[in-house]
A and B are shown apart, each in its own frame.
Chain A
Amino acid sequence: MTGARRSISRSLALGSAALLTLVACDAGGDAERGTAGENDASSARAAPGYRGVLLESGPRPDFTLPDFDGKAFSFRQETQSQLALLFFGYTNCPDICPVHMAGIAAVLRELPWETRDRIEVVFVSTDPERDTPERMREWLSGFDPQFVGLRGDMETVNSIQAALALPPAVRAAVPTDGEDDGYEVGHAAQVLVFGAGDLRLAYPFGTRQADWKHDLPLLVSELKARHEPPEAVGASSASSGSG
């Protein structure tokens, strides 16, 4: 082999090794690194230990709205010992709402039952005109049949959002492609999470499944530690570990 050929072969081998190392690093780090910090959530401050954004702590909002069965759903009471994920959106939403709901649902499907059972996802419609109870049930159950859909008049829904420091939903005059009765609704894009005690977190649009997978079990275990005696938590962890 000539010197030049040897040099080319060596360079190729080194180049290949370098790229393979890069691939290994990228592949290994992606799921972990695929954080809200890489996308829209990047500008916000991450909560210590969590990938969501820490909000000013406070009690869970106290509002009652009818669910898609027509039954009154009191948010504070019904989610008392649960990790509550609250989102304001609408079923004709072309992007943010289905991406959030699909991401959360995909992660919930992978969680152990003991963890999944402690999470309540509540979707409040910002488009009561088109979001009939039937439509909401059909749309939400497409993601997860356990998701709860609530519906109220716009004034009530916006006052709930105002209490949570969220902007009001606005019916946008943007014409769509002749479908969906021709309008979109501007609304807050973050999912609010109410955890143990007064813990509040926000997960903006751009939160990835890797972020939910990282945070939800942590938040549930904190909640369990607060609401259950230590022995029960220990026993539950042991059973989930062995099962």
Chain B
Amino acid sequence: MKRFFSFLCFAFLLSCVERIDFPVGEPEEIVVVDGTFSASNGEKTIRLSRTMQVNRQVDLPIEGANVFVEDDQGLQISYSETQPGVYKTDGIADTERQYRLYAELPDGRTISSNYQSVPDSFSIEEITTLDTLTTFLNENGNDQRLRALEFFAKAKNTNVENDLFLRFRYETVYQVLETKCGPFHNPKACYFYNDERAFAINLIEIDSDASEVEFETLVLRRKIDYKLTEIFALDLSLLSYNKEEYDYWKNLKNLFDQEGNINDVNPARLLGNVKSNDGTEILGQFAVVGESRKIKIVGNADFPTQRLPFCGVAGNLPWPLPDECCSCEGLKGASLLKPDYWP
């Protein structure tokens, strides 16, 4: 009898969620803009690419474009193409002026965004970590309890004059140091940038009614493995947006939050703030942001009882020793480019 009722109730309440094949056509290769500009020091990046087939994850960069940021008085700051589709500048925004993107594409079209003012920035006071036990989804789609390191960002602003629309963005880097594999072998380090795609969009809205604001929020959770236990860096930025550009990220978060229950908001085509001169559709966003940045580095000393680095430590090497410990370029995603903040 219990099984009979179980069967019925499963049919009613648990219903059925199954993975399906949903037919998709060929991509239209629409131009995508992805970039920011701010008043902070350091490089600013604009990426130009095209849309790709769903789940192909093949980057289709647009090379050979002329990319500028223009202020409201006509001053142009040019970007240089450093990699296919990646355009960078060291220019710094003047907080008294407004800026827009202007670019000439190789196909002859020009694209431009709206003019945006430079929002107030919000300082990251510090980044703290917490070693904890939590649940991860493994590759088979099953829950797994693992030790994890949680990174918390504490931010503070004592003079909030306007509404603030904030988003945390981060980059990660970890190091793998080779082992001395022979008398003539000079061990070098390889660096691995952004090995995991960002999954959650972290947004915060602050009312201007509160003159002093302080908050702490979780920005990243990583399971503790060899990637953390050598040298791992979290390069965290807190970006403040203008309302329109912030709404773009809110809408994107809505798309990401689909759970498949009856409460899901209807998805829609995400439109950005860039237009082309011939009226064709341009996707993505160019945003002028206020920016603050903080870097948190953790290493072996923080995990005395945890997993060892990939190539172990002196006196405690893995056996058998992986080939990549003698030549770390063999590891997927390895780069020899060392971040300028590296210890």
A binds B: no
Residues of B within 8 A of A (CB): none
